[in-house]
Amino acid sequence: MWGRWLSLRSLGRVTHDLISPPYYSHNDPMSVQFRTTPMDSTGVPHILEHTVLCGSQKYPVRDPFFKMLNRSLSTFMNAFTASDYTLYPFSTQNPKDFQNLLSVYLDAVFFPCLRHLDFWQEGWRLEHENPKDPQTPLTFKGVVFNEMKGAFTDNERVFSQHLLNKLLPDHTYAFVSGGHPLKIPDLSWEQLKEFHATHYHPSNARFFTYGNFPLEHHLKQIHEEALSKFQKIEPNTAVPPQQLWEKPREHCVTCGTDSFATDSKKQTMVSISYLLADITDTFETFTLNLLSSLLVGGPNSPFYKALIESGLGTDFSPDVGFNGSTREAYFSVGLQGISEENIDTVKEIIAKTIDEVIEDGFEEERIEALLHKIEIQMKHQSTSFGLALTSYIASCWNHEGDPVDLLKIAEKVTQFRQCLKEDPQFLQKKVKQYFKLNKIERKGNHLHFDYLLLWHGSGQKDNPHRLTLSMSPDMAFYDKQRAMEEAKLKEKVEALSEAKKKQTYEKGLELLDLQSKQEDTACLPALKVSDIEPRIQFTELEMALTAEDVPVQYCAQPTNGMVYFRAISSLNTLPEELRPYVPLFCSVITKMGCGALSYREQAQEIDLKTGGLSVGPHITADDSHLDIYEQGVLFSSLCLDRNLPDMMHIWSEIFNNPHFEDEEHFKVLVKMTAQELSNGIPDCGHLYASIRASRTLTPAGELHELFSGMEQVKLMKRIAEMSDITTVLRKLPRIKKHLLNSDNMRCSVNATPQQMPSAAKAVEKFIKGIARSKKERKTIRPHVIEKPSDPKTTGDDALACSQITRKLITDPTFQPCQMKTHFLLPFPVNYVGACVRTVPFTAPDHASLHILARLMTAKFLHTEIREKGGAYGGGARLAHNGIFGFYSYRDPNSLSTLDTFEKAAEWAKMGKFTQQDIDEAKLAVFAAVDAPVAPSDKGMNNFLHGISDEMKQQHREHLFIVSKDNLIDAANKYLTAGKSTRGLAILGPENPDIAKDPSWVIR
């Protein structure tokens, strides 16, 4: 067996020393990893990642990977291309499913069917706008091409890519492993096959598993289905050490403009990056990671104080801090949202800050807070723990590091404490070692440093392997990219003979025909609907009313010594003019200081005593009526059980005495929030499109758009642009009066049974200690519906529960209406959303629509939008609030995609699917419905959404009995144009057809 193997059993000794404890539910992950080291930017490992999952020798069907999404109960299936490895992970709770998925993955990666690769031998094919004309222009329609075009609209990602390429320029890191859009078309079929032959071999593979399923079965299957069929080779894929520089380097690059930048003249980014240690030195990288957190983590860090609070920019530069994803780690720090003329100023601040850290060191409390965070991570349980492990060890293991040693976090914490005890300047010396050097050379796998000072006026020189990278926007950036793409197209077309053009055209038609054919998927393994458990396991909840009539839900769970606290406070009395500012209030309320604590002291206390405090808007639809919903703010936190009184005291101070006086700090937080929202659009464009499309379909839709949609992005941009922000700051105390009190509040606690009595006392004390409104506040929207809680409780508890209600609101005058919105963005791809108003969660048709969405995605939309249309992603889904949504992601098309959504509805209404298709859709739906729930999240459906286990069981029974007639009926009832109200939204470039259509609102 030539592949390297790592198996961590949940009962093994090693797991008790990991960064997080084993989660003992049957949710077993498996992964196979290959070291993939491209030497060009054609994206060969990325395209291969997509290709091997598109048919294999044992499973010669198109896209078995996506088809298995509907034939299994997997809790996770995916594939990832990193800068120097490709990872294929999955997880499932079902042993038979594990065996099925492992078989498909093994055959896919080791024995892919390359018969389909000749369809893109030149990386191009006809668009078929005029299929009768063999001279039709060729357009590259590959999914990877459009994925990377979308990726390169994300300026943060563009910056990070350049940083990697320039800091480590001597080998594979000099190239774009995902593929540069202008280089992807150069990849040939022969190159792809050769790369597979040399990199996808067991001698270059690493296998990982974690969980309770018998290890021997995994080993036997992997040996028989893959490893036994190969002979050992020397893959020669190792990444050599980076040649060290004798002097620092600087590079300047360009990017596209940011439509939502808070200042159009301040869109430059700059950072300084330093080469660090080999990542296989696990204690050194552990130390450097901690050091990085101390340098840039939170408002008490020296670089936050020096850079963020300088007012020069909006946020840290991309890829800030420690990066251990390459053979040699690196540290980067800088600013974004600055003026180009301030680049030198930022460089000077960074140099000065490093000198100050070497001189002053770090406060002991900050170090303790960081180690406390690690303790929290080691105790917090996650249902994706095994998957997190495979990701955590991937880079180190990829370069022959010891993954088991890497996971011994407790040992490293002990060793770290010992180093600090023996040498109080241990960390300062590390800063000097890596950031203030005269001479640097390599001995073996480690960097060796010469500390002899070379007096050059200012004293010691900086680390010579240091990169200063700056990036500024170019108004013509996307136009230049488009021109280069067209030139590439012209070059490719002109290089083709008439015979080659005809052949390429015919191959395009052949591909189109292949994509349209129905396939026999009987060769693929599959579970059956009968394999699904008919009933869910109910979670026992206790409900109680405090002396202040605040309802509290208690859920006793094996939380491993952790306590999880949540509270929801209603927005029902908040004046309309304050509502747009609720997300900003949520963002800053835990970061402005409280009581006797400044914002720096507050941050320190939160880090020392909790696993973090979070606050966010909470909007949830009623389970039985689309026009009834709850609006509020959700407060969440977690802590070690010994720190529960301290955590609740922090919440008390935030509720009673929040600080709203520091205007300068408020400005910093506003700019950071606005920058984060703007940076998130390229990754979340389809979500923004869907939120906008559903805006006018329910009473809560407008609020969703206001709090989480493009309206919030635009509002934060306007606030960040204000020269005088006091008018906004003054709104926060007004919001506080309506939110931070015990009126219309409810709480929940998840903890161990032993901890629950003391947790109840701490929560009761918190509630008693916070203010109630001095005067009765009337709801702004007068139509309030009080809905009783629905847990099945008996005895005295039942009497208490009968008094517990959730105050929901409705608008009897609401009428859904259609709206079509096009947000103009300087992107070369589109994000498309179309939403339809349907039925609430408890309606039987909700189950039919749930399965219909999965069926349409797998059997129609995936083929039309991704395979034929070239979009990176697309499909349909039904939300809990009864909104049925279609979407596409990084899509070269827009209006034609909306046409595809209509065709999907027609396809469904005509019943062009089989019983097997329905069963597969049910499997996929149940895989999501039955996804494992961590102890910290048990009972949250009831607390957050008012959905009891009884309701979930009823919905489950509805899902089981959905028939073909139910699906056709649901499609006709809700997806027929004119029968249901719908909304449309597109985020993307200018479109002349949309521009001349008056039914579209262009923003």
Q: Is the pLDDT of residue 794 over 60?
A: no
Distance between start and end Cα atoms, the chain: 59
Q: Spell out where 501-561 has E strands.
A: 542-545, 551-556
Q: Which two tokens stand for residue 940?
A: 């949250």
pLDDT of 779 > 80? The answer is no
Measured CA to CA, the distance from residue 604 to residue 601 in angstroms comes to 5
Q: What's the mean pLDDT in 634-656? A: 97
Q: Is 684 in contact with 712 (CB distance < 8 Å)?
A: no
- Give the pLDDT of residue 285: 97
Q: Are 270 and 338 in contact (CB under 8 A)?
A: yes
Burial class, 215, CB count within 10 angstroms (exposed 0-12 / middle 13-18 / buried 19+)? middle
Structure tokens at 330: 């690196």
Quick check: 599 pLDDT over 80?
yes
H-run or E-run covering 4: strand 4-9
How many angstroms separate the CA atoms of 385 and 805, rounded?
36
Burial tier of 42 (Cβ tally within 10 Å: 0-12, 13-18, 19+): buried
Element (H, E) at 769: helix 756-769
Residue 12 confidence (pLDDT) above 60: no
Q: How high is the pLDDT of residue 413?
A: 97
- Per DSSP, the three-state class of 594 is strand
Res 180: pLDDT = 94
Q: How large is the C-alpha radius of gyration of the chain?
A: 29
Kindly indicate the confidence band of residue 51, based on its pLDDT and cuts at 50, 70 and 90: confident
Instruction: Return all residues near 721 (Cβ < 8 A) that are at least 6 apart.
Output: 262, 263
| Stretch 886-895: mean pLDDT | 96
* Cβ–Cβ under 8 Å, residues 883 and 693: no
> If pLDDT is split at 50, 70 and 90, which confidence band does 3 have?
low
Contacts of residue 927, defined as CB under 8 A and 6 or more positions apart, other chains included, come to: 72, 73, 74, 75
Place of tokens 């292949």: 514
Neighbours of 204 (CB within 10 A): 23
- Ranges of H-type helices in 69-188: 95-110, 143-151, 155-167
Round to whole Å and give the CA distance between 248 and 649.
49
The pLDDT tens digits of the residues spanning 896-908 come to 999 999 999 999 9
Round to whole Å and give the CA distance between 858 and 917.
9
493: pLDDT confidence band, cut at 50, 70 and 90? Answer: confident
How many other C-beta atoms are found inside a 10 Å radius of the C-beta of residue 329? 23
Q: How far is CA 180 from CA 44, 148, 168, in A?
A: 10, 7, 18
Quick one: tokens of 251?
């590079």
The whole-number average pLDDT for the span 402-427 is 96
Six-digit token string for 112: 């892919």
Alpha-carbon distance of 470 to 467, in angstroms, equals 10
- Quick one: tokens of 323? 């990066």
Pairing of strands 551-556, 745-751: parallel
Confidence of residue 331 (pLDDT cuts 50, 70, 90): very high
The confidence score (pLDDT) of residue 521 equals 80
Q: For the CA atoms of 477, 482, 487, 490, what is the dihedral angle to 10 degrees?
A: 180
pLDDT for the residue numbered 774: 64
Concatenating the DSSP letter of every residue in 40-76 gives: SSS-HHHHHHHHHTS-BSSS-SS-HHHHHTTSS-EEE
206, amino acid identity: R
Assign 782 a pLDDT band (cuts: 50, 70, 90). low
Specify the pLDDT at position 26: 59
Phi (first) and psi of residue 442, to 5 degrees: -110, 135
Rounded-to-integer distance, Cα 958 and Cα 845, Å: 8
Confidence band (pLDDT; 50, 70, 90) for 392? very high
Least confident span in 111-115, 221-225, 342-346: 111-115
Residue 370 is encoded by which pair of tokens? 């960081």
Tokens of 474: 């170019």
Q: Which residues 6+ apart lie within 8 Å of 482 measured at CB? A: 828
Going by pLDDT thresholds of 50, 70 and 90, the confidence category of residue 585 is very high
Choose among 371, 380, 379: nearest CA to 413.
371
> With helix as H, strand as E and coil as C, how does 550-582 read?
CEEEEEECCCCCEEEEEEEEECCCCCHHHHHHH
The string of pLDDT tens digits covering residues 810-841 is 988 899 999 999 999 989 999 999 999 999 99
Using a 10 angstrom Cβ sphere, with 0-12 exposed, 13-18 middle and 19 or more buried, the burial of residue 884 is: buried
Count of alpha carbons within 13 angstroms of residue 557, beta-carbon side: 27
> How many beta carbons lie within 10 A of that of residue 651, not counting itself?
23
> Which tokens sit at 892?
């070269």
Burial class, 284, CB count within 10 angstroms (exposed 0-12 / middle 13-18 / buried 19+): middle
Is residue 531's pLDDT more than 50? Answer: yes
Alpha-carbon separation of residue 356 from 192, 307, 981 (angstroms):
51, 14, 62
Only one residue has tokens 């690493």, namely 206
Stretch 620-628: mean pLDDT, rounded?
Answer: 95
Q: How far apart are CA 444 and CA 858, in angstroms?
A: 52
Residue of 111, 77, 920 whose CA lies nearest to 524: 920
Q: Which of 364, 352, 367 is nearest to 310 (CA)?
A: 352
CA distances to 159, 684, 954 from 256, rounded to whole Å, are: 11, 18, 51
Helix locations, 124-248, DSSP H:
143-151, 155-167, 189-199, 215-225
Q: Which pLDDT score, from 0 to 100, does residue 797 have?
A: 54
Taking 70 as the threshold, does the pLDDT of residue 689 lie above it? yes
Q: How far is residue 499's CA from residue 483's CA, in Å, rounded to a whole number? A: 27
d(CA 944, CA 508): 50
Q: Say which amino acid occupies 388.
A: A
Question: Of 49, 147, 705, 867, which one is the catalytic site residue?
Answer: 49
The answer to whether 129 is a known catalytic residue is no
Residue whose entry in the numeric block shows the structure tokens 């059993």: 9
Is 192's pLDDT higher than 70? yes
Helix-then-strand count for the chain, H and E: 34, 30
- Assess whether pLDDT exceeds 60 at residue 878: yes
Dihedrals φ, ψ of 370, to 5°?
-70, -40
**pLDDT > 80? residue 803:** no
Which residue is associated with the tokens 């002990």?
Answer: 414
**Active-site residue 601, yes or no?**
no
- Rounded to 10 degrees, the C-alpha dihedral 8/14/16/22 comes to 0
Share of the chain above pLDDT 90, in %: 75
Find, among 869, 884, 850, the residue nearest to 976 by Cα: 884
Specify the residue for token string 């259509």.
997
For residue 511, the surrounding DSSP H or E stretch is: helix 498-516
What lies within 8 Å, CB to CB, of 340 at 6+ separation is 268, 470, 472
| Pair of tokens at residue 585 | 């209030």
Helix (H, G, I), strand (E, B) or coil at 271: strand
State whether the Cα torsion 179-384-874-68 is positive or negative.
positive
For residue 284, pLDDT beyond 70: yes
- How far is residue 478 from each of residues 140, 482, 888, 932, 1002, measured CA to CA in Å? 17, 6, 21, 44, 21
